[in-house]
Structure 1
């Protein structure tokens, strides 16, 4: 069985930890994050497509969830997302909504494939 998963890159540091870093350490992290995000913007779609092609080659069958069914599944787990957000504080909510929701909407089609693999 072939298992492929691609998740968004997410880096979170609490304010106390961030404040404990030297300005040099903060700068190195910020530069690394910028480099990583630039790479992601340039390469993510290509890599995602390659993973999808690899999965499709190994598949015995491929089923794409209709939009209506996708929404029904998401509605069943929405409470987990809501629970996480209720415990995350205002900054956590902003970060989640900015990164994860945007990622989910952009790459949603990649998560709609249900594939039975060899």
Structure 2
């Protein structure tokens, strides 16, 4: 709408307008799909070409992607003895395939903004939230959600986006300067993310009361859920969907 000229946001928040962004909400990514791989996949020229067309349908210019802040996982108010214990728990989702994946585990999905997380956990409005390590640390969520499920539930980069009309109004020199700044930002993000991620992980280990490790059988269940939604994405979004899944798979093999 042109309310702002340029912005970055959690990729899952865009899926309502750009459905192909759901490729970044595939749940339970494998361990070898590292944050470095996520960023390379997102900024692969083939990925950008497909997604740029979809963003432009919403009058938005996609400039590129940067990393988010630490892993994105489930944080819970109470202890669990198994993944089955999230059955019937009310958990804040983050859009895309993370929501039906929670339902596959028999949890109830609750929609709320990031700013509401502490209060909703404190008052019992939800039993848990999917959020980033950064939000957990910066919002003091350990006070109300001391239990952490180890490992990423989803790995979603942040798109750098701009109002398309504003972009078109720029001179060629200005556009080149912005593209150069974006390249520098992506490089900076890639070079500094691991250190920041480790810092946040250390804070999680210090602040969390319990870190739950998935068992081998639970990892197998998580893998089945991931493959289910990769197949669903391919089937639902035709040639573009299949192309994105093919590129995705290149970065996890």
Q: TM-score scaled to structure 1, two decimals?
A: 0.54
Counterpart residue number, 1:34: 183
Q: Deviations over 1:72-98 (max 9, x none)?
A: 213124322333344164388348835
2:232, 2:223 → 1: CA distance?
14
Higher strand share goes to which structure? 2
Residue 90 of structure 1 pairs with residue 235 of structure 2: no
Indicate which of 43, 53, 69 corresponds to 2:218. Answer: 69
2:214, 2:239 → 1: CA distance?
34
Higher helix share goes to which structure? 1
Where structure 1 has 5 or more consecutive residues not aligned to the other structure, the ranges are: 106-118
1:26, 1:94 → 2: CA distance?
27
1:67, 1:30 → 2: CA distance?
44
Residue 30 of structure 1, CA deviation: 2.4
1:50, 1:62 → 2: CA distance?
17
Q: 1:33 to 1:51 in 2, by over 3 A?
A: same
Q: Deviations over 1:34-62 (max 9, x none)?
A: 11211112111011111111111111111
| 56-65 vs 69-78, greater mean Cα deviation | 69-78
Where structure 2 has 5 or more consecutive residues not aligned to the other structure, the ranges are: 1-76, 78-117, 119-128, 134-155
Indicate which of 117, 127, 132 corresponds to 1:5. Answer: 132
Counterpart residue number, 1:57: 206
